[in-house]
Amino acid sequence: MELSAQQIVNKLIPLMEIRMIYRSGIQQEFYLQPVFIILLDKDGTALSPELRTTVDKIFREENEYCLYRVFAYEYTAQQLKEENLFFVYGLRKENLVYRKPGIPGDPFPGIPVNEALFSRVKDRLKQEFTKTDHFWEGATFCLEDEDLRQAALMFHQHMEYVFRIIELFVMGKEMESHSIREHQTYVDDCVPELGGVFFAEIENEQKVLDLLDEVYIAVTHSNNYHINQEQIDVIKSKAEWTANAARKVINRQYHALELKRLAPSAMVHKESDTQNDPNNAAKETEKDPLLEQVIELLKSKTDLHSLYLIGKQNKISSRETYVTPTGKGHEQSVAYTLLMVTHSPLPIPLFELTDDIYNRLPCRVYIIDYTLDEVCYKVDRGSNFLDRFLTEALLLFAEDKRLTSLNRTPDYHGKNWKRMRKVWKARSKRATYLLSMLVDAYQEMDEDPTVKMGIMHYALEQVCLGLLYVFWEFKPAHNTLSFLFHLCNHFTSLPDDIFSGASHTRHHMYHLLSNAPHQMRFKSKSGITKKEAEKAFVLCNDFMVQARKVAEAELQRLKRLHCVEAVV
């Protein structure tokens, strides 16, 4: 039986003097482990054995996937001042599930979560692990001096300090104990990697663990203590493994928390979320009758399953005439970008569908289309593009909840970043090669300017395809230049800045570039002059240079999302 958060709260309130309860999480290797943070009014947080057994039963027997941590309110406030990320993120407003009546809505002052905060946390972690390195160096020196007893003490101090770092950073509070056995038991649930350093099933390892725990008391109280070389070798290997595992856990948890800062909108929407509720899809169309007409037209033309609004662009131009005949007026043009999911492939080419909409309605529609089977297949195997757009785009229409009930989780992994960088480099290299073919030719413009314009057209296509993969991880099936420019305008203003604006010349160059393939295929006589080709080359080269800067900046941002940084 799995209890809801409210059911858990209702069972806990009669047992303890609870001030607040938050539901947070600890990042494990392949999943996020839910953890309830329970704040008590009293100073002491040690639960009696009977009470702990009861609380354990609530979380383990009836809701085994959840963990819990208990803290005093004063201790929590102090840790927030010291910028402990466990509390900085664990005690966010959205994580609050219970507040004692009379407590302010936001009892903790907000801590700015920014680059500077993470930089300070990173520096502190590095300093802490530098101290553990000193213990390791001391142990190594004692081994060389054949002082096994002192070496055992140094390894003990090394392991104890590593455990304390992990406990404070991952679990919120370190254990006040010098026993490695007790530390290992303490972290077992939250950090399973360190819960089994010494295996309980292996008698020899338990004997070594007893020796390790005894060395602290023996050395500090001058008692007799004996350890052999074989036992010290086991302790050394365990200490080394503990340090390596701890660094991996620290890096993983740090990266998971930084992800929340860098990608705050990267969240999984469930079927119950209002944004994904098909019943609420009509609210947006009520505000926009033209959009409602687009939806109805698409329903009549396709076997539509669902429709999402990616973006909407409104352009309004006004005019005033002061000579006869005088008058005023304005024109409005609207462009919609839609993600369309159909039951079966489109019965007509996509460009015919969008042209038909344009001829019937005063708007432009740009459509990214998939079949329902394609979406389910891609999401099941991992598609960051669909995960993101099915989650963040505005749902306009849906026949049922098949898409809203899909488990959509962003996939952040180093291999994804390497693939994006590889795609961008390949596209950029092709575009550079195409433009470089024209450099020498411009010294003597004997070649056909139409051919040159066509080459520039294909170079721009390559740049846009590269940008779309970097920003959206999207490979469009339709590659007209106008379509690619429109999609790129959702995340950068480069197409408009360079090929639009108030300049008639830039508009004209864009028109020539867009129609260059048509000119090459169907016109034997060149309608493009040498001067026009030269101007277009300057604009294309400028677009290429600026696109590189935009792509490299985005790749650097994405690297922090996808690649786990070695903090320690």
Which range among 182-191, 366-375, 440-449, 537-546 shows the weakest confidence by mean pLDDT?
440-449
* Banded pLDDT at 421 (limits 50, 70, 90): very high
Q: Is the pLDDT at 388 greater than 80, yes or no?
A: yes
Q: Is the pLDDT at 529 greater than 70, yes or no?
A: yes
* Banded pLDDT at 357 (limits 50, 70, 90): very high
CATH no., domain 414-563 = 1.20.120.330
Fold exhibited by the domain 115-260:
Four Helix Bundle (Hemerythrin (Met), subunit A) (1.20.120)
Q: Is the pLDDT at 280 greater than 60, yes or no?
A: no
531-559 burial, b at 16+ Cβ within 10 Å, e below that, comes to ebbebbbebbbebbebbbebbeebbeebe
Paired sense of beta strands 67-72 and 18-27, if any: unpaired
In this prediction, residue 344 carries a pLDDT of 95
Q: Are 3 and 81 in contact (CB under 8 A)?
A: no
Q: Is the pLDDT at 272 greater than 70, yes or no?
A: no
Q: Is the pLDDT at 409 greater than 80, yes or no?
A: no
In this prediction, residue 187 carries a pLDDT of 97
Calculate what percentage of the chain has a pLDDT beyond 90.
Answer: 63
358-380 pLDDT per residue, tens? 999 999 999 999 999 999 999 88
Q: Is the pLDDT at 66 greater than 70, yes or no?
A: yes
Write the CA distances from 97 to 24, 33, 40, 135, 193, integer angstroms. 10, 17, 14, 42, 29
Show the DSSP H helices in 449-529 as ranges.
449-472, 481-488, 494-499, 504-522
In this prediction, residue 527 carries a pLDDT of 79
Q: Report d(CA 171, CA 191) in Å as an integer.
A: 9
Which range among 87-91, 279-283, 350-354, 436-440 shows the weakest confidence by mean pLDDT?
279-283
Fold exhibited by the domain 289-398:
Beta Polymerase; domain 2 (3.30.460)
Q: Report d(CA 125, CA 128) in Å as an integer.
A: 5
Q: Report d(CA 111, CA 117) in Å as an integer.
A: 9
In this prediction, residue 266 carries a pLDDT of 44
Mean pLDDT across 251-279: 67
In this prediction, residue 554 carries a pLDDT of 96
Q: Is the pLDDT at 282 greater than 90, yes or no?
A: no
Mean pLDDT across 524-545: 90
In this prediction, residue 270 carries a pLDDT of 41
- Percent of the chain that is helix, strand, coil (3-state, to 5): 60, 15, 30
Surface-to-core class of residue 360, CB atoms within 10 Å of its CB (0-12 exposed, 13-18 middle, 19+ buried): exposed
Q: What is the largest CA-CA distance in the chain?
A: 112
Q: Is the pLDDT at 483 greater than 90, yes or no?
A: yes
Q: What is the mean pLDDT of the chain?
A: 88
Q: Is the pLDDT at 131 greater than 80, yes or no?
A: yes
Mean pLDDT across 239-267: 86
Q: Report d(CA 210, CA 202) in Å as an integer.
A: 13
The encoded tokens of residue 303 equal: 């076997």
* Banded pLDDT at 532 (limits 50, 70, 90): very high
In this prediction, residue 108 carries a pLDDT of 77
Q: Is the pLDDT at 112 greater than 80, yes or no?
A: yes
Mean pLDDT across 249-262: 91
Q: What is the pTM for the complete model shown?
A: 0.78
For residue 412, the SS3 value is: coil
Mean pLDDT across 20-27: 93
What ranges make up the beta strands (E) of 143-241? none
Domain boundaries, the chain: 1-99, 115-260, 289-398, 414-563
* Banded pLDDT at 267 (limits 50, 70, 90): very low
Domains 1-99 and 414-563 in one fold: no
The encoded tokens of residue 123 equal: 């520096």
Quickly tell me which residue has 């993470």 as its tokens.
Answer: 118
In this prediction, residue 268 carries a pLDDT of 43
In this prediction, residue 62 carries a pLDDT of 62
Q: Is the pLDDT at 269 greater than 50, yes or no?
A: no
Classify domain 1-99 at the CATH class level. Answer: alpha beta
In this prediction, residue 473 carries a pLDDT of 96
